[in-house]
Amino acid sequence: MSMDIVFMGTPEFSVPCLKRLISDGHRVSGVFTQPDKPKGRGNIMTPPPVKVEALKNGIPVFQPMSMKDGTALDILKKLSPELIIVTAYGKILPKEILFYPKYGCINIHASLLPKYRGAAPIQWSVINGEKKTGVTSMQMNEGLDTGDMLLSDEIEIGENDNAGVVHDKLSELGAEVMSKTIDALLKGELRPVKQDDSLSNYAPMLTKELCPVDWSRPASEVHNMIRGLSPWPVAVTTVDGKPVKLHESRLCDITGGREGEVVECTGSLVISCGDKKCVEILKIQAQGKKAMSAADYLRGNRMEKGTICK
């Protein structure tokens, strides 16, 4: 069985869901995505990944600046979908759109709801040291990720997985959860479950204000912050007054030292944290340079034991 579906999504995370709708044989009558944006040093106007995939498959693309001025609703009335699938679209849908299709709007959300509602659930699950996360399909309502839960599946978060690794795993898992949700919907087997609001955590958008490393925190928290902010916006510290970005780290057995003190810098870069435990920096980036291994960085940048990172 197949359905008439409109898809709404924008970043790379959303692409596997769109591909799965097509491969499952559904009629995707239109794709809504964010407007093209300037990127790079040349400020070249660049289409979102979902737009690229839609055009590749001959699907009409719509990029309204607003979902609230009636333009998007007029487009939907012409497309007349039975269902709207939303995956990381990046715009809030008004009530008249949420409840326009026969089966409403289903969101594919990158967390095990009700935990981590909001814009950055993947990154905050890593920053907070979660051991598992997942994807939940949800019947959308007017709240922020507060609709009834439909289906979910989970993955483990490895000790050294960064947000980019978890993103890629959940992107593929999201397509699977979405496919199973639509299949269950067609068979009349969905059993919506209300969320327990008391169990929810808000996962706000990441900003560069989060990036400076607080070396007074325990080593495990510093490590989680570094991997949760990788590949963007990337944790940062200062060495001899110069900012460096920390892309990758791991916990190690070395102990001792003051907060932020470099306790090893011969071949490996080890920094002490607030609990006297240490993190080893594996990938680092000096200002104006490309990211490189800590070993390569140390070969080209003199550093002494006892240096304090701030």
**What is the enclosing helix (H) or strand (E) of 271?**
strand 269-272
Report the C-alpha gap between 143 and 93 in whole angstroms. 10
3-state secondary structure 77-102: HHHCCCEEEEECCCCCCCHHHHCCCC
Amino acid at 1: M
Report the C-alpha gap between 248 and 229 in whole angstroms. 10
Structural domain spans, the chain: 4-199, 208-300
Residue 12 makes CB contacts below 8 A (sequence gap 6+) with: 49, 171
Q: For 208-300, CATH number?
A: 3.10.25.10
Q: What is the mean pLDDT of each run of 10 residues along the chain (310 residues)?
A: 96 98 98 94 93 98 96 97 98 97 98 96 98 98 96 98 98 98 98 97 95 98 98 96 96 97 95 98 96 96 94
* Predicted pLDDT of residue 67: 96
Beta bridge partners of 155: 133
* Predicted pLDDT of residue 40: 84
Q: Which two tokens stand for residue 288?
A: 């104006």
208-300: same fold as 4-199?
Answer: no
Prediction pTM value: 0.95
| Contact present, 227 and 122 (Cβ < 8 Å) | no
* Predicted pLDDT of residue 70: 94
3-state secondary structure 227-260: HHCCCCCCEEEEECCEEEEEEEEEEEEEECCCCC
4-199 has CATH 2.60.40.10 classification? no
Amino acid at 235: A
* Predicted pLDDT of residue 245: 98
Q: Give me the helix-helix angle, 15-23 and 49-56, nearest 10°.
A: 20
* Predicted pLDDT of residue 220: 98
